[in-house]
Amino acid sequence: MSRAWEVPDLDPKASVAENARRVIAVRTAEFYSFAPLVPHPEYEEALHDLRIAAKRLRYTLELFRPQLGQFGDRQIDRVRAVQEALGTLHDHDVRIVLIGDELTQLAVEQSHDAQSAIAEASPEELPGITSASLRPPPDDPRRGLIALLGREHEARRAAYSEFRSLWESLGAQGFRRELVSLSVLPLAASS
Amino acid sequence: MKTDWESSLIAAIDIGSNSIKMTVGRANASGGVDEVDWASETVRLGQGLDSTGKLSDSRMDAAVETLNRFRQRAEQVGAAKIVAVATEATRAAANGPAFLQRVQDEAGVPIRVIGGDDEAALTFRGLGATSDLAGSVLVADVGGGSTELITARDRQIQGSTSIPLGSGRLTDRFIVDDPPTESEMRSSELAAGDALAGPLGEVLTERGDDRRVIIVGGTGEYMARLVPDPSAINLAAIRAVLARLEQMTAASLAEAIQIPEARARVLPAGIAIVAAIVERVKPAKVEIGRSGVRVGLLLQASDAIQAGASKTRIGNGRTNGKVKSPFDMGKVAKQVEAKGDEHDFRETMSALIAQRWEAVWKAVPVALEGADIEGVHDVRVASRRLRAAMDIAAPAFPKSWYRPLHRTAKEITSSLGEVRDRDVLLEALRAERESAPLPERPGIDRLIARVERERSVARVELESYLGNLMAGPVRQEIEQRFGQAERRKSDRNGKEQGKS
């Protein structure tokens, strides 16, 4: 997980609005520093980091809600939508890794079981063991794990596609510009 | 149509030998710049320049791509103007003009190549926006291809010089191994010392027992992340950093201070240049400058726009330089008008932090009880909200007691992570099981059993941590440190409501 960017130049003696502007500028830039990675669905970790950056930005905006008004609320809703879309994507990534790991573990266990059975089997029992290992029983857990893995990959592709559409649609609506305006405007009144 | 505030946004780009950097912002009334966006990419445009005399095709391609991205980004954030300057690599390369033409044609960014004097003037102006330049100072802008030295007294430049000595050049010449060897580092520092001796003598024309050295640029910024105390940098501390860098690969250095690996690769040579400067100048103090060429450039461009605008905007309704915004200005103005002891940053943040700790304490019992999985989630979200407030407010409070409380807030979030992750997994797996065909259920059951086992272990740790937290002294300390501000805020709100 990437560390939060530090906010330079915070001034304890300055007004809340002035410091809010500085913090929001940093959190917005941190959030958009991941933008070049958005077209790459294979960068799971980077997309997860983008989600964390979205959370940091959202909680920061919520903190200064009284200063940001309804215009700020609109941006918070948009950041939350990005965060949630990436959350769904991340949940699929976690499950894909878990299922893959469980399949590996199961293969190891089944291999050990087969080796033990073969080592202890009489010559008459060997053909039965061989045919059983080549034709898994109906309750073999692999069946469910493989089917689930397939569904997870499919759902992940759909989740990425939804996230990408959302990202592009927000871009077309001028989301970034409006976020940046949050970091410019409180100062407009303090001069 | 652009609003007034957008019209004042300028993107300033500095194309150096190591990095291309952009700052988007606008000049403010106090002579500084309000930055709204920035970007940096390590392109190493000057790589190999000393051996070939030319910019390589691959580096030019990378620079054009980067500038294209920066232009799009500047446009996205609403910059009304883009100004770009190129320094040593472009000015020294035989194919520099061809590169400039390519950037103009392919990225649509016009670039001005500036000489050493212009670079020094822009650096000094930019530095003045964030640093006190009173007294005697030597400013050293350590770049990838050149180092600019500026001497000044009481904010007036006395002399400046540009030396073709930079971190990228020195790396190309002396550093082969990764990590750099002791011998490579020593050679770099000696070569830097030799290159600096004459120019330093030229610019340091007067005694300066009280002289400060201010290091500008990425080298200084990243070096500050490696010293124990950035406010107390001296030659011994810089040498300790150099010794440490002999043990670190570029990859591990990049990870440790969060910079690109290509930038980490040239950092040891940059710090060797700083060491050579400090050894020769023997300053009273070494400081790190937080702004330079780009801020200077932005201020210069803003002056030009203002000069043009003052001729055409007379009588257009703008007053006092204030700008209009699509904001909830009523609330903003109220906040600003409310400046003073009762509403200052520290006081407001104290009250917010108190509220957010209270939200954590309220959610913990449900999480400990464990009947509703949302209990753990609620504590986690409350702790993240708390951290957002504590991250921001840190400079306003004494580190001695604030840091441990800040750390506790982080521990709360992470202590719940393992359980929360498994709660989410179990919810999804159980839903899958419900709709899955019967032959698939044994596999899903196996997964569910595994996650349940892991959750049980994590749950024991969570209960132990939260139990100790609730029974320990933290809650009382929070009340003592932040509670009064929260009560004052409540009283104030009560009075304001009474008035209305």
Q: What's the rounded Cα separation, in Å, for the pair B465 and B486? A: 27
The hierarchical CATH code for the domain B131-289 is: 3.30.420.150
Matching CATH number, B328-499, of 2.60.120.10, 3.30.360.10, 3.90.1300.10, 1.40.20.10 = 1.40.20.10
Q: Write a three-state SS string for B361-396.
A: HHHHHHHHHCCCCHHHHHHHHHHHHHHHHHHHHHHH
Nearest CA in chain A to B38: A29
Nearest to A67 among B26, B77, B331 (CB): B331
Angle at the Cα of B129 from the Cα atoms of B128 and B131, rounded to 5 degrees: 55
Q: Is the pLDDT of residue A12 over 60?
A: yes
Strand, coil or helix: B259: coil
Contact B212, B283 (CB under 8 A): yes
**Inter-chain CB proximity B336 and A17 less than 8 Å:** yes
Q: What's the rounded Cα separation, in Å, for the pair B262 and A31? A: 22
CATH 3.30.420.150 residue ranges of chain B are 131-289
CATH 1.40.20.10 residue ranges of chain B are 328-499
Q: What is the pLDDT of residue A22?
A: 84
Q: What is the pLDDT of residue B492?
A: 61
Contact residues on chain B for A187, CB-CB shorter than 8 A? 28, 34
**Inter-chain CB proximity B443 and A4 less than 8 Å:** no
Nearest CA in chain A to B33: A184
Q: What is the pLDDT of residue A6?
A: 79
Q: What is the pLDDT of residue B177?
A: 87
Beta bridge partners of B156: B153
ipTM of this predicted structure: 0.85
CB-CB neighbours of A136 under 10 Å: 12
**Inter-chain CB proximity A98 and B451 less than 8 Å:** yes
Q: Edge to edge, what strands does the sheet with B136-142 contain? A: B156-163, B147-153, B136-142, B212-216, B285-288
Q: Taking a contact as any Cβ pair under 8 Å apart, which residues of chain A between 44 and 103 contact chain B? A: 55-56, 59-60, 62-63, 66-72, 91, 94-95, 98-99, 102
DSSP 8-state assignment for residue B138: E
Question: Which has the closest alpha carbon to B334: A67, A185, A13?
Answer: A67
Answer whether B449 touches A (CB < 8 Å): no
Residue A61 is encoded by which pair of tokens? 């905006």
Q: What is chain A's mean pLDDT, rounded?
A: 88
Nearest to A187 among B34, B329, B445 (CB): B34
**Inter-chain CB proximity B77 and A180 less than 8 Å:** yes
Q: Taking a contact as any Cβ pair under 8 Å apart, which residues of chain B between 52 and 81 contact chain A? A: 69, 73, 76-78
One pLDDT digit (tens) per residue for chain B, 500 residues: 445 545 578 999 999 888 899 999 888 877 788 888 888 888 889 888 877 888 999 999 999 999 999 998 888 888 888 999 998 888 888 888 889 988 988 888 889 888 877 888 899 999 988 888 888 999 999 988 888 899 998 888 888 888 888 898 889 888 888 999 888 888 888 888 888 888 888 788 777 778 899 999 889 999 999 998 888 899 999 999 999 999 999 999 998 888 888 889 999 999 999 999 999 899 999 999 888 899 999 998 888 887 775 543 333 333 333 333 333 333 333 333 333 333 578 888 898 899 999 999 999 999 998 888 899 999 999 999 999 899 888 888 888 899 999 999 999 999 999 999 999 999 999 999 999 999 999 999 999 999 999 999 999 999 999 999 999 899 989 988 887 766 666 666 655 555 44
Q: What is the pLDDT of residue B337?
A: 35
Q: What is the pLDDT of residues A24-63, one digit of tens each?
A: 988 998 898 888 889 999 999 989 999 999 999 999 999 8
Element (H, E) at B158: strand B156-163
**Inter-chain CB proximity B9 and A184 less than 8 Å:** yes
Compare A1 and A78 and report the one with higher pLDDT: A78
**Inter-chain CB proximity A12 and B345 less than 8 Å:** yes
Beta bridge partners of B35: B25
Q: What's the rounded Cα separation, in Å, for the pair B368 and B415? A: 12
CATH 3.30.420.40 residue ranges of chain B are 4-116+295-306
**Inter-chain CB proximity A141 and B345 less than 8 Å:** no
Architecture of domain B4-116+295-306: 2-Layer Sandwich (3.30)
Mean pLDDT is highest, among A64-78, A141-155, A165-179, for A141-155
Q: What is the pLDDT of residue A160?
A: 97
**Inter-chain CB proximity A63 and B389 less than 8 Å:** yes
Answer whether A176 touches B (CB < 8 Å): yes
Q: What's the rounded Cα separation, in Å, for the pair B381 and B363? A: 10
Q: What is the pLDDT of residue B262?
A: 86
Average pLDDT of the segment spanning A58-82: 89
Residue B486 is encoded by which pair of tokens? 């929260």
Contacts of B169 (CB under 8 A, 6+ apart): B17, B46, B49, B50, B144, B145
pTM exceeds 0.80 for this model: no
For CA atoms A34, A36, A39, A42, give the dihedral sign.
negative
Q: Closest Cα of chain A to B175: distance in Å? A: 30
Radius of gyration of chain B (CA): 28
Q: Closest Cα of chain A to B182: distance in Å? A: 31
Q: What is the pLDDT of residue B335?
A: 37
Q: What is the pLDDT of residue B63?
A: 94
